Amino acid sequence: MTSSGPSPCRVIRCTNPSGGRLTLNEDDPDVPIMEIAVCNEHLTQINAGADWFYDGADHMIHMGRDVAPRITDFQIREGIDPLSTLIVHSVSDGAPRIDEYRLSRPQLDQLAALIRGEQEWWNITKDDEGDSPASESPEP
Ligand SMILES: [Zn+2]
How are the residues of the chain apportioned to helix, strand and coil, as percentages rounded to the nearest 5? 25, 35, 40
Q: How far is the CA of 96 from the centre of ligand 1 (A)?
A: 24
In a domain, 3, yes or no: no
Q: How far is the CA of 68 from the centre of ligand 1 (A)?
A: 19
In a domain, 132, yes or no: no
In a domain, 4, yes or no: no
Give me the domain span that covers residue 53.
20-66
Residues 96 and 114 in one domain: yes
Q: How far is the CA of 14 from the centre of ligand 1 (A)?
A: 5
73: Cβ contacts below 8 Å, ≥ 6 apart? 88, 89
Q: How far is the CA of 10 from the centre of ligand 1 (A)?
A: 7
pLDDT digits (tens, 9 = 90+) for 81-118: 789 999 999 988 888 999 999 999 888 888 888 877 75
pLDDT digits (tens, 9 = 90+) for 44-71: 999 998 889 899 888 899 998 888 888 9
In a domain, 80, yes or no: yes
Alpha helices in 37-85 (DSSP H): 40-47
Q: How far is the CA of 56 from the centre of ligand 1 (A)?
A: 17
Q: How far is the CA of 12 from the centre of ligand 1 (A)?
A: 8
The beta strands (E) that lie in the chain are given as 20-24, 34-38, 52-55, 60-63, 70-78, 84-92, 95-103
Closest CA to 91 of 130, 131, 64, 121: 64
Global pTM reads: 0.59
In a domain, 32, yes or no: yes
123: Cβ contacts below 8 Å, ≥ 6 apart? none
Q: How far is the CA of 117 from the centre of ligand 1 (A)?
A: 39
Residues 87 and 113 in one domain: yes
In a domain, 13, yes or no: no
Residues 54 and 93 in one domain: no
pLDDT digits (tens, 9 = 90+) for 28-43: 888 888 899 999 999 9
Q: How far is the CA of 57 from the centre of ligand 1 (A)?
A: 19
In a domain, 106, yes or no: yes
Residues 78 and 112 in one domain: yes
